[in-house]
Amino acid sequence: MTTSLFALQLGASEFTVGLLMALFALLPMLLSVSAGRLIDRGGPRRPLLIAFAGLAVGTALPFAFPFLEILFVSTTLVGTAFMIVHIAMNSVFGAHGTPEQRAMNFSWLALGFSTSNSLGPLVAGFAIDGLGHANAFLVLAVFPAMAFGLLLARRRRLPRPEAGAPGKRTRLLDLLRIQGLRNTFIVSLLLAMGWDLYTFLIPLYGARIGLAAATIGVIMSTFAVATFAVRLAMPLLVKRIRHWVVIASAMAVAGTAYLMFPFVQTVPLLMALSFLLGMGLGCAQPIIMSLLYEASPPGRQGEAVGLRTSLLNASHTLIPLASGALSVAFGMAPVFWLLSAFLLGGAWFARLRIK
């Protein structure tokens, strides 16, 4: 959000904003599998320390050098660092506890991300309006710096998955031959598309209809509050509702919300749609990660998460570019509707997996 609004303030076009959003995903697309294998072999602690430091530096760069060009460096560094955080933290939470607790553990991890997603847009929006765009980046850089300090002070070993068979040759394509993993990758790709494009589309849409940065932040925080609320209930839901039922319902709700966005311009209704979208997308993420971890071969969980991350970032590298170009040529409504069609199609695909 901060990057999008700063770029627009510096005179960037919507296509340039789309290019910046794509750079968040460019190196993760290429390096996620290697990062996952590294975490499988050496454990998550050192990669996490490096990633938190990278996040802090990358976020602070636009404060030190408030130019459009530096945003291209910042987005690349932040995207790569967060990729490592994402893979390493999923490895830690997947390895903690028993298999029966796994979906619940991923729900707690998702709650952590929802908390940051709730506070981040609010902090960013009010920091932009009160301190300016460049200073807002310095405020945001404090948080990964704190995470670095907390992890550095921790002396206990972080949980990690069990090792695979020693000396056994592994091939990346073997993961795609596992039907459970393949189905999970497909729905994960569609859900993540809906999640990540929200952070791209809403700042553009809000700026286009004349909303202030703080108002856009409040709308986006409503989405995050919804993900937090639904994830509070996930430890109970995962015990009572089949996983693929949750995924199909989530995609149907998200697709419907995106279908309605172009018809709404008032803040209360935008908040309501954001809340509905957050409820749909928020409940699916812990289930996806649990299915992914369970279907992965022993010792290759980080690699499987890395492959998922690489596939997602491949789409995220191209889709913001295509969405930015499409919105410039035809307006934003076709972008929302195309995304809605993908998600509703994904709901049908997930429904076929229900047994």
What's the CATH code of the domain at 207?
A: 1.20.1250.20
- Determine, yes or no, domain membership for 157: no
Question: Which pLDDT value is given to residue 136?
Answer: 92
With H, G, I as helix, E, B as strand and everything else as coil, classify residue 166.
Answer: coil
CA distance 134 to 214: 15
In a domain, 160, yes or no: no
Q: Which residues lie below 8 Å from residue 176, measured CB to CB, with a gap of 6+?
A: 182, 185, 307
pTM of the model: 0.68
- Residue 343 within any structural domain of the chain: yes
Task: Report the amino acid identity of residue 11.
Answer: G
CA atoms lying within 13 Å on the CB side of residue 73? 14
Residue 233: predicted pLDDT: 76
- Token pair of 355 as six digits: 């047994």
Per-residue tokens: 206: 């809000």
Residue 166 burial (CB count, 10 A)? 6
Q: Where in the sequence is the domain holding 215, given as residue range(s)? A: 2-152+174-352
Tell me the CB-side half-sphere exposure of residue 4, using CA atoms within 13 A.
Answer: 26
Domain count, the chain: 1
What is the pLDDT at residue 97?
67
63: which 2 tokens? Answer: 């404060």
Residue 211: the pLDDT is 87
Task: Find, among 214, 158, 311, the residue nearest to 5 by Cα.
Answer: 214
Q: How far apart are the first and last CA of the chain?
A: 40
Q: pLDDT tens for the chain, 355 residues: list them.
A: 888 888 888 888 878 887 888 788 778 877 877 888 788 777 888 899 999 999 999 999 999 898 888 999 999 999 999 989 988 888 888 777 666 667 777 777 877 877 787 788 888 888 888 888 889 999 999 999 999 999 998 888 877 666 554 455 566 667 777 777 788 888 888 887 887 778 778 888 888 888 888 888 888 888 878 887 887 777 677 667 777 888 888 889 999 999 998 898 889 999 999 999 988 888 777 778 777 777 777 667 677 777 777 777 776 666 666 666 676 667 778 888 888 898 999 889 888 877 6
In this structure, is residue 274 part of a structural domain? yes
Write down the pLDDT at residue 52.
Answer: 95
Specify the pLDDT at position 243: 77
Residue 325 domain-assigned (yes or no) = yes
CA dist., res. 34 & res. 32, Å (int): 5
Tell me how crowded residue 153 is: count the other CB atoms within 10 A of its CB.
Answer: 7
The answer to whether residue 38 sits within a structural domain is yes
In a domain, 168, yes or no: no
Q: 246 in a domain, yes or no?
A: yes
Q: How many CA atoms lie within 13 A of 119 on its CB side?
A: 8
